[in-house]
A and B are shown apart, each in its own frame.
Chain A
Amino acid sequence: MSLARLAWASLLNRRLTAGLAILAIAMSVALLLSVEKIRRDARTSFGNTISDVDLVVGARSGAIQLLLYSVFRIGDATNNVSWESYEEIIARPEVRWAVPLSLGDSHRGFRVLGTDASYFEHYRHGDGRALRFATADPSTQGPGVNPFADLFDAVLGSEVARTLGYSVGDPIVVSHGTGRVGLVNHDDQPFRVAGILMPTGTPVDRTVHVSLEGIEAMHVDWSRGAPVPGQTTSPETLRATELQPRAVTAFMLGLDSPRSVLRVQRSINDYTDEPLLAVLPGVALRELWNLVGVAERALLIVSSFVVVAALVNLVSVLLASLDARRREIAILRASGARPAQVFTLLALEAGLLGLGGIAGGLALHYAVVLVGGFWFERRFGLAVGVTWPEATDWAMLGTILVSATVVGCLPAWRAYRRSLADGMTVRV
């Protein structure tokens, strides 16, 4: 039997206290791993939301704010971009494609986005994946076919359809404003579900898409943000009317070459007719991470303190057991164990507890990811999948193991000193 087996046998003999110490470490390790995982998956999810877009343009505000409301559907725009400016900018020779975005309405808590067919053609997520329809009205399917064939056609993100139980052909009512309840319903202009998109793991899943003209149609009988009493226009009349969008909230641009990006960005930012802002999504995203990084670090620090607390607990458990183990140590000494071996035994024990805690923490972490992942995805639209720990995780776990062994040296040192001082006395 080696010293490691002795340490193991001794630990088994004290399995309750040892188990609790391991549990404390396991829980802290699981917390740390889970916080790290959610942080990383959130970044990946955000990073996956927009791809292959050269510039995002909106009314002048902050780059992060523009990115948040236009791409992530978080918060609201302070101002719109006039239709004239939009048309002028997309007419530039460098612009290969443009996707208009018109926000400001909602449907039962989900954002309504006014856009056009180019959205389904050019919007990319993940590593360049296009949007795909899960189910659609036959008339809207196929490449080059406008999903908004009718003025009142709506295309739903997968989560909207799942949560609200919609299928193709169902009527939906859009309300003005972006709140979850109340507000003013545009119940005189019911839309119809024309298609449902495949899940993307992006805010698209939680968006109701309608045409820009549809947005205009909702607001035809409105004036200054409120319905005009007594005035209703029938859907038939609206379909016959040429509805001209007056503004967009923001738009995405695809340019002919990467070299054009900075030039176009500069000219949009210097646009004289109206204050506009063009941002590179990647740059804005990085700015966002700098901002979010503070909160992330705070979370990480808190988790680290939980680990430290677990290690302190480990020391206290080992120290408390020392008194009871004085006899054990005296027997070992009498049998020829050197003080250094007694020291090693105790340090090894702390290492074993640390190892057990880490193994338990990994198991707990994966249990949390497996069970909590579904809920998390439903609740926050954030895909948290089971993945192998990354290099930084292993480094963290290694640090915890080394720390457990190092803090275990404190009780080991006490045992060592005592084993020298006690001599052959075995106290009861």
Chain B
Amino acid sequence: MPAVGPGPAATSAIDIVDLRFRWPGQTRDVLDIPALSIAAGSRVFVRGASGSGKTTLLSLIGAVLKPDAGRIRIDGTALESLSGGARDTFRADRIGFVFQMFNLLPFLGLVDNVLLPCRFSSTRRERAAADGGTLENEARRLLAALDLDVDALASRPVSHLSVGQQQRVAAARALIGRPSIVIADEPTSALDADARQHFLELLFGEVAAAGATLVFVSHDRALENGFDDVIDLMGLNTASTGGQGMRAEALR
């Protein structure tokens, strides 16, 4: 189980204390997490039913949303103290995302999709260039490591790739320039069982190679094996989860 306790540990990648978040216009908090700590370099499985606030938590960790109260420290930086622009820079530099599906921009090629974060973060651009010699080489190296034949696939529009291939391209994008945290939001839910296992193995390998912390969200308990820690959001989140489905309408 994760090291749950007050105060940031020296080896913590993510430290959360008394975090509360409520979507604008809602009467209830969607998240209320007294404490959560995730060790640097660990692979953490976050489990929770849909509507339990998983995606909101990831948005908060990803510095996309700002907490209403409480503290979030990522690599020792207090996110709640950052301005909007600084949060964007922080996210671009430190965090890689893999979504559930449709991860890729259809109008960009394979390599350009992978290099997208390097466009917004000079830190990751420089690191990726240093890792691979050139940006393009690093993108190709990552794609190859994730079992994608770049030369065979590059000529096709990315929307023609299989879902499994698209998710691995997304993983390469999340990993390029070695961000400290990779956040994956149900990345395997559209994959069949074999592809799921294949994806996880490749992802684990490259996350370890990059030295990143992996926060992996899923409702599929069959995937829990192989993770260092499992967090049950239902147990952790003291806010009522009766607001299922309300979030979707919150801002319309």
Contacts and interface: CB of A to CB of B under 8 A. Distances in A.
Nearest to A331: B105
Interface stretch (A94-102, A116-124, A418-426): A418-426
Nearest to A327: B102
B84 A10 contact: no
A39 interface: no
- Residue among B65, B100, B103, B120 with the highest chain A CB neighbour number at 10 A: B120
A336 B124 CA distance: 11
Contacts of A286: none
Given A423-B56, A424-B59, A9 B120 contact: no
B88 A424 contact: no
Contacts, number: 81
A424 B121 contact: no
A82 interface: no
Contact of B88 (A336, A422, A427): A336
B15 interface: no
Given A424-B185, A425-B55, A333 B107 contact: no
A411 B24 CA distance: 22
A303 to B, nearest CB: 34
Nearest to B112: A1
Most buried by B among A327, A335, A425: A335
Contacts of B234: none
Given A338-B88, A339-B84, A426-B100, A9 B65 contact: no
B64 interface: yes
Interface in A330-344: 330-341
Contacts of B185: 424
A423 B22 CA distance: 13
Given A337-B88, A338-B85, A424-B58, A331 B103 contact: yes
Contacts of A428: 101-102
A contact face: mostly helix, strand, loop, or mixed: helix
A1 B101 CA distance: 24
Interface in B58-72: 58-59, 62, 64-65
A13 interface: yes
Interface in B78-121: 84-85, 88-89, 91-93, 97, 99-108, 112, 115-117, 119-121
B20 to A, nearest CB: 16
B96 to A, nearest CB: 9
A12 interface: yes
B173 A335 contact: yes
B105 A328 contact: yes
Interface residues of A, number: 28
Contacts of A13: 106-107
A328 B116 CA distance: 12
B251 interface: yes
Nearest to A13: B107
A335 B63 CA distance: 12
A340 B105 CA distance: 19
A332 B115 CA distance: 12
A335 B56 contact: no
Contacts of B93: 336
Nearest to B94: A336
Interface in B184-236: 185
Given A335-B117, A335-B120, A423 B101 contact: no
Interface of B: 24, 55-56, 58-59, 62, 64-65, 84-85, 88-89, 91-93, 97, 99-108, 112, 115-117, 119-121, 173, 185, 248, 251
Interface of A: 1, 6, 9-10, 12-13, 327-328, 330-341, 421-428
Given A9-B107, A338-B89, 18 more contacts: A1-B119, A10-B107, A12-B107, A13-B106, A328-B105, A331-B99, A335-B92, A335-B97, A335-B119, A336-B91, A336-B92, A336-B119, A338-B84, A338-B120, A340-B85, A421-B251, A425-B55, A427-B248
Name the 10 nearest CB pairs between A and B, nearest first: A336-B92, A336-B120, A13-B107, A423-B59, A424-B59, A334-B97, A338-B88, A9-B107, A335-B116, A421-B251
17 contacts: A6-B119, A13-B106, A331-B116, A332-B116, A334-B91, A334-B97, A334-B99, A335-B97, A336-B92, A336-B121, A340-B85, A423-B59, A424-B55, A424-B97, A425-B59, A426-B99, A426-B100
